[in-house]
Amino acid sequence: MKDLQKIKGYFYLLPSFLGFLIFYLIPFIWGIRYSFSFSSFDSTFVGFKNYIDILSSPSFVLALRNNITFMIIGIPLIVVISFIIAYIINEINAPKYIKLAIMLPIAIPSATVAGFFRKVFGTGAFNLIDSKYAMTVVLLIYLWKNTGYNLIIYLVRLDQIDKEIMEAAKIDGANFIHRLRYIIIPLITPATVFVLILSIVNSFKVFKDVYILQGNYPNPEIYMLQHYMNNKFKDLQYEHLTSAAYIFSLVIIGFVLLFFLLDRKYSKKVVINR
């Protein structure tokens, strides 16, 4: 009976798996051929020439640097802010309308968001979008739009923490810092890893807002890898586009592996403490 239920479960997952296989995995693997070809119209094998070309391209280096800078600053920032807000809401048992206000930006269209930020930060003497501080505006858009996602995850996880553990720690003399470091953070680590991965995914979506703000060739301070790949796609330079995509994929895989190692480290601590 259990085996039958397990098989039924796999059948429910099958449509999603087939969609992922056909529209993501197969094209991703198939694209490797383009990255080692002379061009999209000439499949002559050229080794790592395309990778060397894009790594020596100033526009690619600029885009990669901007993306990594954005992720290094934006992802830890959104995780910390989301956790702090979630913790405060959980502690004070905030009304539902406060949670709704924080999650509302999720539903607002990108064109509206970009229009608002252009009006506030792109005109007059306070024009940050065309200045060297343009990345600040992109970070604000990212934080404003995506904090709500993380908030939901953290609120659910914080609500699942056994209150008796916290009360016992208080009785034993543990202050707030000790409870945070030795109880709360280890127990919410799986949720934090999921939030980090979700934050990486959402960091790619900010390109849409940047594109609406300034088009294909924006301020160099906010020229992203998606701009580079978009422009290569328009120029039919698929060999450079795919090579850039695989290099960036390696960067993302590196971040994700780091997060999973963090999860394993804290999970072991929680098991030992128990």
Residue 20 to residue 17: CA distance in whole angstroms:
5
User: Hey, how many other C-beta atoms are within 10 angstroms of the C-beta on 200?
Assistant: 16
- Asked if residue 4 has pLDDT above 70, the reply is no
User: What's the pLDDT tens digit per position in 198-245?
Assistant: 888 888 888 888 888 888 888 999 998 888 888 888 877 878 888 888
State residue 269's pLDDT score. Answer: 56
* Whether pLDDT at 256 is above 80: no
Alpha-helical segments (H) within 21-161 = 26-35, 49-55, 58-92, 96-103, 110-121, 134-160
Looking at residue 96, its pLDDT comes to 77
Q: How confident is the model at residue 193 (pLDDT cuts 50, 70, 90)?
A: confident
220 CA to centre of own chain? 22
* Whole-number pLDDT of residue 45: 84
Q: Which domains, ranges and CATH numbers included, belong to the chain?
A: 52-273 (1.10.3720.10)
Instruction: Measure the CA–CA gap between 273 and 95, rounded to whole angstroms.
Output: 34
d(CA 166, CA 268): 20
- Does residue 69 sit in helix, strand or coil? helix
pLDDT in tens, 11-29: 777 887 888 788 778 888 8
